[in-house]
Amino acid sequence: MHLGLGTKNTHIIARYIGEKMRIGKKILSKAGVLLIAAFMVLSTSAVMADTAEKTPFTATESSAMISNQGNLPRDGEEIKYYNPDTLTHVIGLSGGTPPYYWYSAIRFTQDELAPYAGWDLTKVNVALSCDNGQTEVWAKLTIWGEGTATQPGSIVYEDDTLYFDASGFHIIEISTPIALDDHDEIWIGIEWEQTEEGAYIPFTDDGPAVDGKGDWCNLGSGWDELQDFDLDYNWGMGGIVEGAGKAELAIQNVEGPIGVKAEVKNIGEVAASNLEYTMTVTGGILGFINKTVPGSKPTLDPSAIESITSGLLLGFGNIVIEITANADNAVEVTETKTGFVLGILVIGIE
């Protein structure tokens, strides 16, 4: 079954809930066979509805919230899209014959992974409910490598022994840590075994969804985003990464008066790799001032500084100064300032 069948007689339902947590394990047997059987039944049910009532996907809500967000014992850092303060919805399926097997998933690109060069993905964090129509939940964790912008690539890790019997956050250990440097992208998905009609299992926040990243789902025949069905939320799911620290760049001391000078400083814990920076100065009367100064450095050690200068500027009028710096293992930073050129002097930078 595919989310698109919701235009016939299958529903995806969101609801609020929150409680505490506990995690156990149980082998999810014959998952592949049951998956095929479940979706065949749902597909048949949906096709039969062509001549009957057509019901779209709907969302229902109440007022409770998950109670133990933000108190998670974890090492490293969590890469996530959800807002931990608004985990108020849980999602479930109805409209066919249980059990349903379906995925919630998130996608990490180089925008999220690059600052953690040399780190490993060691755990997955997920918020779920066992208090809304299903008290025990069996599930499978799947991690994929790079595919396309709309579907994951090859499987790099699986664990089909997940079992939950309490609501809240659950941290799932990855038995073989995944080196982030080995993958341009990583998709993390959990296949839920929903055994009860109308049960609600994984949490989402209030959104808005991070396009193409925070709200993927698959009911058996392809990948869609929740926002495609007016559920503009991010899954309450993240990847926990561990490493020796990361680089962090800062742009500081932007000043004149002869030309524009600035500094890029590594305020992080490890050396920045393949530092690249650009200073652009534009403006003046009739836009005659237009200068770009690029630069690079193989490494920038912690607390080290790289100086940038525009060189001599000649003109008159207001200018805009934009400085950008990035590295393989650091988030790009940008600083924008304004100033005034008076002949060869640059004054009033702020």
Which domains are assigned to the chain?
3-242 (no CATH), 249-344 (2.60.40.10)
pLDDT at 197: 87
Question: CA nearest 323: which of 287, 275, 270?
Answer: 275
Q: How many CB atoms lie within 10 A of CB 258?
A: 13
Tokens representing 224? Answer: 């869609």
Token reading at 124: 């997955």
Cα(350)–Cα(202) distance, integer angstroms: 47
Cis peptide before 99 (omega within 30 of 0): yes
Q: In the chain, what are the helix, strand and coil shares in percent, each to the nearest 5?
A: 15, 45, 40
In a 3-state reduction of DSSP, which class is residue 343?
strand
Single out the residue of 263, 285, 273 nearest to residue 340, CA to CA: 285
Say if residues 275 and 325 touch (Cβ distance below 8 Å).
Answer: yes
* Token pair listed for 90: 């849980």
Q: H helices within the chain, ranges in order?
A: 31-48, 110-113
Q: Could you tell me which residues come within 8 angstroms of residue 284 by beta carbon, excluding any fewer than 6 positions away?
A: 315, 316, 317, 318, 319, 341
Nearest to 152 by CA among 115, 88, 103: 103
What is the strand order of the sheet 203-204 is part of? 11-15, 89-94, 203-204
Helix (H, G, I), strand (E, B) or coil at 7: helix
User: What SS3 class is residue 228?
Assistant: helix
Residue 150: per-residue pLDDT: 97
CA-nearest of 343, 338, 347, 337 to 316 is 343
Nearest C-alpha neighbor of 94 from the set 42, 151, 161, 159: 42
pLDDT at res. 41: 27
Distance of CA 248 to the CA centre of its chain: 20
pLDDT tens for the chain, 350 residues long, are: 323 222 223 344 444 333 323 333 333 322 222 222 233 222 222 222 222 222 222 333 322 344 444 444 344 789 999 999 899 899 988 878 889 999 999 999 999 998 888 899 999 999 999 989 999 999 999 999 999 999 999 999 999 999 999 999 999 999 999 999 999 999 999 999 999 988 999 999 999 999 999 999 998 779 999 998 889 999 999 999 988 777 899 999 999 999 999 999 999 888 998 999 999 999 999 999 999 999 999 999 999 999 999 999 999 999 999 999 999 888 899 999 999 999 999 999 99
Compute the distance between CA of residue 330 and CA of residue 322 in angstroms, rounded to an integer. Answer: 19
Calculated CA dihedral for residues 87, 89, 90, 96, nearest 10 degrees:
-160
